[in-house]
């Protein structure tokens, strides 16, 4: 609907109807713009490959992960969760002197590495699960 037609309808109708017409036009424009933007993002699907490795004195851990994100926002959200979990593990000290890798795929945290004990591995999993925004935790930590 053109702005001229909306203006003409507003002049001929009640103020409440005019408000509803303008609101409908605004919402329609937002929805159309959102669909166009979503189509662009979907067409440019991002599929990064991440490779991470950590080494301490006696152990080393490496991980290659393939992620399929629909948007840069999804990728940024996972990066934020990785930072949150790494910070929580560092604050607790459970991962000190242990090679541990934290990865995230659509809110699911993957922990891999070598811990000092089974209790430390379990505690690291609980810490990761309690981070805000984490959907699930795959705890692949081992111990010696």
Domain boundaries, the chain: 3-43, 49-143
Report the C-alpha gap between 54 and 10 in whole angstroms: 66
Residue-wise pLDDT for 34-73, tens only, equals: 444 444 444 344 445 555 656 666 666 666 767 777 899 9
The answer to whether residues 100 and 120 touch, using CB atoms and an 8 Å cutoff, is no
C-alpha 115/C-alpha 94 separation (Å) is 8
pTM of the model: 0.59
State the pLDDT at residue 15: 52
Model pLDDT, residue 27:
42
Angstrom distances, CA of residue 59 to CA of 25, 28, 139: 62, 58, 18
Closest-CA residue to 37 (of 76, 70, 86) = 70
pLDDT digits (tens, 9 = 90+) for 90-123: 999 998 988 899 999 999 999 999 999 999 999 9
pLDDT in tens, 70-96: 899 999 999 999 999 999 999 999 989
């Amino acid at each position: 609907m053109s702005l001229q037609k909306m203006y003409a309808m507003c002049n001929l109708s009640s103020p409440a109807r005019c408000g509803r017409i303008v609101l409908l036009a605004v919402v329609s424009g937002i929805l159309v713009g959102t669909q166009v933007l979503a189509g662009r993002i979907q067409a440019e699907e991002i599929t990064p490959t991440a490779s991470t490795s950590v080494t301490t004195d006696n152990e080393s851990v490496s991980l290659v992960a393939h992620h399929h994100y629909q948007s840069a926002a999804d990728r940024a959200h996972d990066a934020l969760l990785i930072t949150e979990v790494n910070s929580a593990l560092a604050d607790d000290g459970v991962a000190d002197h242990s090679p541990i890798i934290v990865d995230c795929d659509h809110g699911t945290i993957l922990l891999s590495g070598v811990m000092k004990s089974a209790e430390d591995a379990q505690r690291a999993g609980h810490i990761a699960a309690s981070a805000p925004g984490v959907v699930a935790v795959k705890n692949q930590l081992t111990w010696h």
